[in-house]
């Protein structure tokens, strides 16, 4: 897949609630995911597709999403693109409502996402 195909599929997967299923299709086995800050002592960096899948599962188990939007991809050269995410919901454990906006920057090499970085 080329950069545009990967970016378009990542966005479609997020919009159609199949982001987790897209991990094997779009990500390199040794991909790295980097958060803007450490949440609950989990560290900022997650390495490997299985660990990134676990991060998705944690998010789904800890949050109830009531609304979300995903921008079209914003390409940057031949090896990167960004996506803007907006999510509204509640933290299941506390019932605390949240309204977040973040930018995901995705680095691509050899037809796979090798690194994602989140800014919020």
Q: What is the pLDDT of residues 7-30, one digit of tens each?
A: 999 999 999 999 999 999 999 999
- Total domains in the fold of the chain: 1
pLDDT at 37 over 80: yes
pLDDT at 41 over 80: no
Q: Is the pTM of this model over 0.75?
A: yes
pLDDT band at 38 (very low <50, low <70, confident <90, very high): confident
Residue closest to 33 by CA, chosen among 12, 49, 17, 22: 49
Q: How far apart are CA 3 and CA 93, in angstroms?
A: 38
Segment 42-92, tens digit of pLDDT: 789 999 999 999 999 999 999 999 999 999 999 999 999 999 999 999 999
Q: How far apart are CA 31 and CA 6, in angstroms?
A: 14
Token pair recorded at residue 23 = 């991990």
Domain span including residue 106: 3-119
Instruction: Name residues whose C-beta falls within 8 Å of residue 52's C-beta, 6 or more positions apart in sequence.
Output: 23, 27, 31, 33, 46
User: Computed over its alpha carbons, how large is the radius of gyration of the chain?
Assistant: 14
Could you tell me what percentage of the chain is helix, strand and coil, using 3-state DSSP and rounding each to the nearest 5?
Answer: 30, 45, 25
Q: What are phi and psi of 70, to 5 degrees?
A: -130, 125
pLDDT given at position 72: 98
Identify the CATH number of the domain in which residue 40 sits: 3.10.450.50
């Amino acid at each position: 897949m080329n950069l545009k195909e990967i970016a378009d599929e990542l966005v479609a997967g997020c919009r159609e609630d199949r982001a987790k299923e897209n991990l094997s299709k779009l990500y390199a086995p040794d991909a790295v995911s980097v958060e803007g800050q450490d949440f609950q002592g989990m560290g900022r960096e997650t390495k490997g597709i299985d660990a990134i899948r676990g991060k998705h599962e944690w998010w789904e188990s800890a949050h109830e999403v009531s609304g979300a939007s995903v921008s079209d991809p914003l390409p940057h050269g031949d090896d990167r693109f960004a996506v803007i995410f907006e999510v509204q919901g509640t933290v299941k454990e506390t019932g605390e409502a949240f309204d977040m906006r973040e930018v995901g920057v995705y680095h691509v090499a050899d037809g796979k996402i090798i690194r994602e970085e989140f800014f919020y």
